[in-house]
């Protein structure tokens, strides 16, 4: 049974509907993530589901009860919300801000008991803000504030947690730590998480299900690996340059224009930094020969003018090798990122020998030197 659900929900401001006929089912122990372009209505939808905006149609249910009929005090013991709105509580330490999460349990006077204080300290340790406990909240960085506000929400001991862009303002370490905390909470406490994220790669890695918001509706819904394909992400965000690669969760630049002057012999992930370096320079290149299952293949396909590919787990055919040689003959330089050649990769050893016999300039050292040596 879902703990949080909507039925034909319309969300918007005033009389203007931004999203219509939204039907969501969120069960305990699940992370459901909204993705979509800016202005699509993700924050508006979350605010409506959280009860901060009145629905313009349809219904929100919390534990099979209409949210609008549940007393706020009881709602606060089940549902917690964290938004990106700027909050500046004056003259409050971080511990005091976190303790506000215990308000549903402390009554009007807000007096915390021993168990409340224990939960506050445990939550600060969980979110790694114990060292900030006595600092003025208004003096923190944006990233530190995010972690304090997450701690306040967790301190409510909710069954449902709604978060709007929780990873905003965080560096990569704290993004991963925050989402790791959420994943751990879902596992240990069986809570349900509904959130919006801009980072598609993080949504893909941390979510059980994704909802794609676009065009005034939920455009698609399902498991991340089923929904987040390269072609669909291009359509969802209206991308005209570059691409998103679901295999690696990376965004790549557009392939350089012009006639390729370099042939890159790569594989096993070794060619990826070289492809990206050439793309940054705007230098067109060929790549190959790569098995379609190779780590290099998706990035090479995105950035190279042409990739000479081969079926997974098959030896390179003579036809593929000769075709790669023909492309190589049009180049003035080559880069080989491979230090050795296995049985299935003898064709690339032959390609390297071909490049040397053609007298192509070996650019490998230029593109494979450590940064400190450049």
- Residue closest to 222 by CA, chosen among 204, 196, 199: 204
Run of H or E residues at 326:
helix 318-328
| Tokens 């390179």 -> residue | 316
Helix 114-126 vs helix 142-155: angle between axes, to the nearest 10 degrees?
140
CA atoms within 13 A on the CB side of 350: 17
Cβ partners under 8 Å of residue 147, min gap 6: 127, 128, 129, 132, 170, 174, 178
Cα(343)–Cα(345) distance, integer angstroms? 5
pLDDT band at 327 (very low <50, low <70, confident <90, very high): very high
Q: Looking at residues 111-128, what average pLDDT do you find?
A: 90
Quick one: pLDDT at residue 126?
86
Quick one: pLDDT at residue 85?
67
| Tokens 């490998």 -> residue | 364
Query: In the numeric block, which tokens belong to residue 356?
Result: 């040397």
Round to the nearest angstrom and report the end-to-end CA distance of the chain: 59
Q: Could you read off the pLDDT of 260-319 as tens digits, one per residue?
A: 999 999 999 999 999 999 999 999 999 999 999 999 999 999 999 999 999 988 889 999
Q: What count of other Cβ atoms lies within 10 Å of the Cβ of residue 17?
A: 17
Predicted model pTM:
0.85
- Residue closest to 262 by CA, chosen among 318, 303, 312: 303
Q: Could you read off the pLDDT of 82-99 as tens digits, one per residue?
A: 987 666 677 899 999 999
Cα(93)–Cα(135) distance, integer angstroms? 5
Query: In the numeric block, which tokens belong to residue 338?
Result: 């491979």
Q: Could you read off the pLDDT of 229-264 as tens digits, one per residue?
A: 999 999 999 998 899 998 888 889 899 999 999 999
Is 50 exceeded by the pLDDT of residue 370?
Answer: no
289 upstream amide cis, omega within 30 of 0: yes
| Tokens 């067109």 -> residue | 284
DSSP result, 267-316? -TTTTHHHHHHHHHHT--EEEEEEETTSTHHHHHHHHSSEEEEE-TTSPP
């Amino acid at each position: 049974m879902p703990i949080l659900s909507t039925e034909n929900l319309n969300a918007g401001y005033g009389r203007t509907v931004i999203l219509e006929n939204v039907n969501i089912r969120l069960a305990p122990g699940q992370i459901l993530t909204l993705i979509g372009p800016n202005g699509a209505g993700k924050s508006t939808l979350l605010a409506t589901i959280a009860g901060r905006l009145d629905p313009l149609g349809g219904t929100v249910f919390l534990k099979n009860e209409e949210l609008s009929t549940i007393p706020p005090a009881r709602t606060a013991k089940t549902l917690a919300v964290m938004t990106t709105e700027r909050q500046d509580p004056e003259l409050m330490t971080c511990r005091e801000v976190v303790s506000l999460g215990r308000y549903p349990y402390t009554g009007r006077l807000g007096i915390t008991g021993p168990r409340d204080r224990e939960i506050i300290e445990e939550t600060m340790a969980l979110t790694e803000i114990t060292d900030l406990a006595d600092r003025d909240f208004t003096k923190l960085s944006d990233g530190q504030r995010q972690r304090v506000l997450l701690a306040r929400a967790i301190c409510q001991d909710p069954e449902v947690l709604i978060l709007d862009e929780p990873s905003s303002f965080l560096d990569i370490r704290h993004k991963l730590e925050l989402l790791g905390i959420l994943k751990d909470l879902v596992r240990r406490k069986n809570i349900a998480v509904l959130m919006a994220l801009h980072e598609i790669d993080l949504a893909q890695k941390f979510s059980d299900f994704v909802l794609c918001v676009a065009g005034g509706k939920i455009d698609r819904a399902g498991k991340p690996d089923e929904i987040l394909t390269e072609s669909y992400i291009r359509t969802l965000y209206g991308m005209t340059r570059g691409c998103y690669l679901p295999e690696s969760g990376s965004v790549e630049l557009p392939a350089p224009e012009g006639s390729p002057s370099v042939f890159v012999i790569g594989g096993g992930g070794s060619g990826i930094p070289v492809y990206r370096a050439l793309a940054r320079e705007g230098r067109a290149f060929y790549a190959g020969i790569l098995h379609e299952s190779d780590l290099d293949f998706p990035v090479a396909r995105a950035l190279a003018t042409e990739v000479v590919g081969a079926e997974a787990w098959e030896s390179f055919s003579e036809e593929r090798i000769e075709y790669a040689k023909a492309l190589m003959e049009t180049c003035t330089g080559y880069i080989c990122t491979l230090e050795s050649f296995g049985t299935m990769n003898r064709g690339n050893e032959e390609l390297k020998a071909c490049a040397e016999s053609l007298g192509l300039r070996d650019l490998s050292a230029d593109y494979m030197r450590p940064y400190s040596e450049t």
